[in-house]
Structure 1
Amino acid sequence: MPPVATPSWDPGQYLRHSGPRTRPFHDLLARIPDLPGQGRRPARIADLGCGAGNVTALLTARWPDADVLGLDNSPEMLAEARAYCGDRITFAHADLTTWVPDGPYDLIVSNAALQWVPGHARSFATWTKALTPGGTLAFQVPGNGDAPSHALLRELCASPRWHDRLGEAGRRRVDVLAPQEYLDRLTRLGCTVDAWETTYVHVLQGEDPVLDWIRGTGLRPALTALADDAEATAAFLAEYAALLREAYPRRPYGTPFPFRRVFVVARKPD
């Protein structure tokens, strides 16, 4: 079977659901404490997996004088982020599996990105060591790897029709720990940790809205694997859409879509 290609990203598709996608970051941001040195010097902030820059901009809204660095491995997303944020934020290419802070940071934050980084918890020691005293590591990740949307995708990719064509694309699982596991690991590193989970029930609108949602994120590996064949892509999406319509039936008010998220705010001692 062919290896899994690095997913290509479509900023426009991702931003189609920017409202509900941004809500977890607002909830995370509300739990981040004041940063060390606030009011005395500009804070240093790193946004890991900044994507299209729409949530990175929220960091400058809360800390207007901060020196913010947005990092991502997608050229498409970085281009969108630079266009969205202008000169007030610095953006750079980085692979989060190997990224090492270039100096002390008051806040290292990540919004719905670490699930794409296998073994990301192994980087916690390096990241928290780079925090200034009183600094914070904060992130949220999707916790819906076992939801029907993802289970059906894996089953479809493994079916006889698509198994050889998609290779391992459908088997790629997000790398997310339980809240208590994150709490344990970061507490052992000396941090004070607030870890929790929330299941949002988004009400999606339109034709095949769950498919439209997933096209921006979890479906990217499969779409990347089929990118050179428009006919196969259309056939695959038609099969997947039918499965999603059954799993997430439309109601008179829209299509309810439960989405579990895991949150962590870890503060380094002063």
Structure 2
Amino acid sequence: MTHTWDPDRYLTYADERGRPFVDLITRIDATEPRTVVDLGCGPGNLTALLAARWPEAAVTGVDSSAEMVAKAQGSAAAATVAFEIGDVREWVPTGSAGGGTVDVLVSNATLQWLPDHLELLPRLVALVRPGGWFAFQVPGNFDEPSHTIRAELAAEPPYAPHVAGAAVPSSHDAATYLRALQDLGCEVDAWETTYLHVLHGADPVFTWVSGTGARPTLQALPDDLRPSFEAEFKRRLREAYPDDGRGAVLPFRRIFVVARVS
């Protein structure tokens, strides 16, 4: 079941979503990379940080969403980054057979949408030049109420038949990624961080998840059922993430991996 992304909804909490990207790329010890690629670049606002860090590099942002790429191409980031539509599972650098031509390969909050992404790691590592860097970050909060409430509600009638095929994100723990990349001959630094995002506004946690993890479920629902699903989803989220006047606190665990390719 396919779904589309809304760049503007995704950017509602751009600062909070961007912090893990910054924490990830600060651990990449590349000095003068020539080719830098952001796989799953979204609206491109974070890819621009790669161009700012390595201004002499050719920086490319790749995303499978035409909506996201259009947003990126129309943004200020397009002045320093080339954006293109591509699937993480199939993308290869232009003019390359796909082997070892990228100096820094970054993927931020993307691999969790590919159920087989652990098996995809050898192909991604193979895109990187020996001595180059492969770094990615994925959410690790799928046991939190922001996800479990959606799953529980989606399993109830009358919603269940409509959302059975909707995409659901998932990831592994840091140790699993570390060992998988060590098996590929990489030097690996893997860690996790839990951020405490303080969100403001009406139903802020719903606003957050409706732009990412819950979006495929919401889009899968027919128009006559979506309003009741959203209303109940919001109610349960307000109970799980109460706002005492200082904002709702959303704990968000992230898994980080930075690998040096041999």
- Which bin holds the TM-score, normalised by the shorter protein? over 0.9
Q: What does residue 49 of structure 2 align with?
A: 58
SS of 1:17 mapped into structure 2: helix
Offset at residue 173 of structure 1 (A): 3.3
> More deviation in 88-97 or 50-59?
88-97
Distance 1:252 1:31 in 2: 36
List per-residue Cα deviations over 1:197-254 (Å, max 9, x = no partner).
000010000111100101110111112213x51x422211101000101111112211
Which of residues 80, 85, 103 in structure 2 aligns to 1:88?
80
Distance 2:181 2:78 in 1: 34
Question: Aligned letter for 1:88?
Answer: T
TM-score of the two chains, using structure 2 as the length reference:
0.93
SS of 1:16 mapped into structure 2: helix
Q: What does residue 68 of structure 2 align with?
A: 77
Q: What does residue 263 of structure 1 align with?
A: 256
SS of 2:59 mapped into structure 1: strand
Question: Aligned letter for 2:112?
Answer: Q
* Stretches of structure 1 lacking an aligned partner (at least 5 in a row): none
Identity of aligned residues (%): 48
Number of positions where the alignment pairs a residue of Structure 1 with one of Structure 2: 256
Q: What does residue 234 of structure 2 align with?
A: 241
Offset at residue 126 of structure 1 (A): 2.1
Q: Spell out structure 1 runs of 4+ moving beyond 2 A.
A: 97-103, 165-169
**2:209 is the counterpart of 1:214:** yes
Offset at residue 30 of structure 1 (A): 0.8
Distance 1:81 1:6 in 2: 21
* Stretches of structure 2 lacking an aligned partner (at least 5 in a row): none
Distance 1:120 1:19 in 2: 26
Q: What does residue 36 of structure 2 align with?
A: 45
Which of residues 7, 31, 36 in structure 2 aligns to 1:11?
7
CA contact 2:168–2:213 (8 Å) conserved in 1: no
List per-residue Cα deviations over 1:133-182 (Å, max 9, x = no partner).
2100001011111111111101101101211232332xx43231110010
TM-score of the two chains, using structure 1 as the length reference:
0.91
